[in-house]
Amino acid sequence: MLSNSKNQTIKNSNTILFVILLAVFLSVNTSLSAQSGWFTQNSGSNDYLYSVYFIDNNTGFVSGHYGTIIKTTNGGNTWSSQTSGTSASLVSVFFSNANTGTIVGFSTLGYNGIILRTTNSGINWIKQAEGLSEALSSVYFTNVNTGIAVGDTGTIFRTTNGGENWIKLVCPTTKWLVCVNFSDSIYGTASGLFGVLIRTTNGGQNWFLLNSNIDKNLHSVFFSNKDTGIAVGNPGQIIKTTNGGLSWVRKTSPVVGFSLRSVFLVNSNTGYIAAHGGLIMKTTDGGEVWNIQTIGVYSPLKSIFFFNADTGFAVGEYGTILKTVTGGSVGIKKISGVVPDNFYLYQNYPNPFNPTTNIKFDIPVKSITKLFILDITGKEIDILVDEELTIGSYEVQWPAPSGNATSYPSGIYFYKLVTKNHTLTRKMILIK
């Protein structure tokens, strides 16, 4: 048994450690909330939002707890509630075209599965396959008629007639399947609990097990083509394949202990992950390196979806909806595609400045680029760019439109541009 003095020493040490960690957390999150390439939208709901899907730049749907379905027709500026006819948890939404969509989920009591279908853009939602005993977690359609729904105890349902009939398929696992994704009409992959991954190479008719080499839950999987895919889970698990799932390689995650809930690949290089800790991560090199993006809120996130390389949405608990129109970057814009003569960092303008200033730079070759702000002591206080940029001239505002110069005292600051082979630094002055 420990003596009282030893017990008190341990208690004091734990208290000091907690205070230090709390201070670090608060300082980090204060910084993050000041600058963000993501902004919140008013969902009109306080319920858990589980899934988001956009048909085009303007029209999108979100499904959630207690039968929640909300729709936007103006890029998320406003959201309107739709009648689902159920109080179930609606955990996955997918649209084949502007009118035709499917949502799956499960009842809060008994975990009975539910499938809803609309053919008029959500004006009416009709229940399909009534009486399902298996909870459903994810749905994906390869065309307007052919779709796959997966769920508890290795459940796989397939339809080839728009959901009029759902046929239960033989599955090579009894583990809960959480997510299903197809790269095209032929190749599909599903992920689940305890590291389960299964694959189809004939449009979902037959499935076989893949070896993920991990035993942790895999909450999401996404393939950018038939060979290249990424699966994510908890705690902080990221694995990648480049051979259609025959082998998987673990990738380093910038967060440990957080549950990674959703992955979306815009192309073979650029992808995003939404996490339970209110985190969004981005890669621009095919998943080798992931960088945390500032989002300004700390709600656990459930789903992420990108309509194009710049425009994306993330949803989560407490009615959270986030949107970016810059790929998550903080206000960066490409102002010219002309090939510059060399790397160059221009003097900011105006300078001195209050409340904001503009920073312009040239990128003559495609490069992983980082632009960040330093205070007079050389401490990094803000990251403006941290991603792969194509050839051209760029401009970014600091503080970003979502930020505020009042967060920073008057004085001398430095902005630094770093690529693989170049480092350029300039001085600027904030006057209040």
Residue 183: in which H helix or E strand, if any?
none
Half-sphere exposure (CA, 13 Å, Cβ side) for 142?
22
Architecture of domain 333-430: Sandwich (2.60)
Is 26 buried (19+), middle (13-18) or exposed (0-12) by CB count in 10 A?
exposed
Please name the residues in contact with 241: beta carbons below 8 A apart, sequence gap of 6 or more.
227, 228, 229, 230, 247, 248, 249
Structure confidence by residue, pLDDT tens digits, 284-338? 889 998 988 878 777 899 999 999 888 999 999 999 999 998 788 766 788 888 9
Contact 212, 198 (CB under 8 A): no
Lowest mean pLDDT among 86-90, 257-261, 384-388, 421-425: 384-388
Residue 326: per-residue pLDDT = 79
Phi/psi region, residue 162 (left: phi>0; alpha: psi -120 to 50; beta: rest), is left
**What is the CATH T-level fold of the domain 39-324, as seen in this structure?**
Methylamine Dehydrogenase; Chain H (2.130.10)
Reported as a pLDDT band with limits 50, 70 and 90, residue 15 is: very low
Indicate the pTM of the whole model. 0.77
Average pLDDT of the chain, as a whole number: 88
What whole-number distance in Å separates Cα of residue 371 and Cα of residue 386?
A: 7
Closest listed residue to residue 177, CA positions, set 142, 232, 238, 218: 218
